[in-house]
Amino acid sequence: MRTPLIAGNWKMNNTEVEALSLVRKLIQGIKSLTTVEVLICPPFTSLSQLSKLLVSSPIQLGAQNISDHDAGAYTGEISPRMAAEFCSYVILGHSERRAYYGESDALINRKTKVAQRADLTPILCVGEQLDERERGQAAVVITRQLQGALQGVKLSDPSGLVIAYEPVWAIGSGLSASAGETADFIGGVIRPVVSGLWGQEISQKIRVLYGGSVSPENAGGFFTHDEIDGALVGGASLSADSFLGIIEKAS
């Protein structure tokens, strides 16, 4: 019912030359994509060249961040419309932006709204810290993050938003969450919050990804669960073999 999405978050890695080389390998490895949607989110500096390379490829481009303003005097920022020249998606609320750049739910809420206005589909990241999980607070934290980031956001088409559940302690740590627990959490916490915002039908059709140390070795375990609609992949998206291995597991 929901097409799986495999999204690679390159973070602050790869110069333009390195990006072109990696994407050439991905293009060679991906023969035809019928059952899985594939997205890469490189740094802004490579988007223009990569968009030319990918012109007849099913691999899509996404941004890792955007400004919360439409345009204007915001030195150093990239507007949603600038990103939308090359990208169909934008990652918002990533835990690294929350932790290192102080992004609040209110800021992520503004970015979600400007992204929608520019026809960019937000991939909204939510996730609990290890101590929050250990104190049994994961559901409360994720509910607060979702309601804060999505307050006043209109959604009539479930393909207009993707949610990525990324426990913070699992990101880049080599420790992934258990696939079964993740599926239960998505079905028991995340979809009910979405249902409260936009109704049951949207909550069943919206895609919810898992992110946190996904690798070709553990990916298959996540994708056997109906509740998990793909993955947001960090480290393993920097190697063509690993990323292609994950895509293969999803198809």
Interacting residues with ligand PEP (CB under 6 A): 9, 166, 171-172, 211-214, 232-236
Q: Is 94 a catalytic residue?
A: yes
Q: How far is the CB of 164 from ligand PEP (least distance, A)?
A: 7
Q: Is 166 a catalytic residue?
A: yes
Options 37, 96, 103, 166, the catalytic residue: 166
Nearer to ligand PEP (CB atom), residue 85 or residue 181: 181
Q: How far is the CB of 96 from ligand PEP (least distance, A)?
A: 7
Give the integer Cα–Cα distance in Å for 205 and 106.
25
Please, which contacts does 220-227 make with residues 24 or more away whose CB atoms are closer than 8 Å? 220/249, 221/179, 222/179, 222/182, 223/4, 223/249, 223/250, 224/179, 225/179, 225/180, 225/182, 225/183, 226/183, 227/182, 227/183, 227/184, 227/186, 227/187, 227/191
Q: How far is the CB of 117 from ligand PEP (least distance, A)?
A: 25
Q: How far is the CB of 230 from ligand PEP (least distance, A)?
A: 12
Nearer to ligand PEP (CB atom), residue 162 or residue 232: 232
Options 37, 94, 96, 128, the catalytic residue: 94
Please give the structure tokens belonging to residue 95.
Answer: 């835990």
Phi, psi of 180, deg, nearest 5: -65, -45
Nearer to ligand PEP (CB atom), residue 203 or residue 213: 213
Please give the structure tokens belonging to residue 176.
Answer: 């992934």
Nearer to ligand PEP (CB atom), residue 67 or residue 176: 176
What is the set of active-site residues? 94, 166
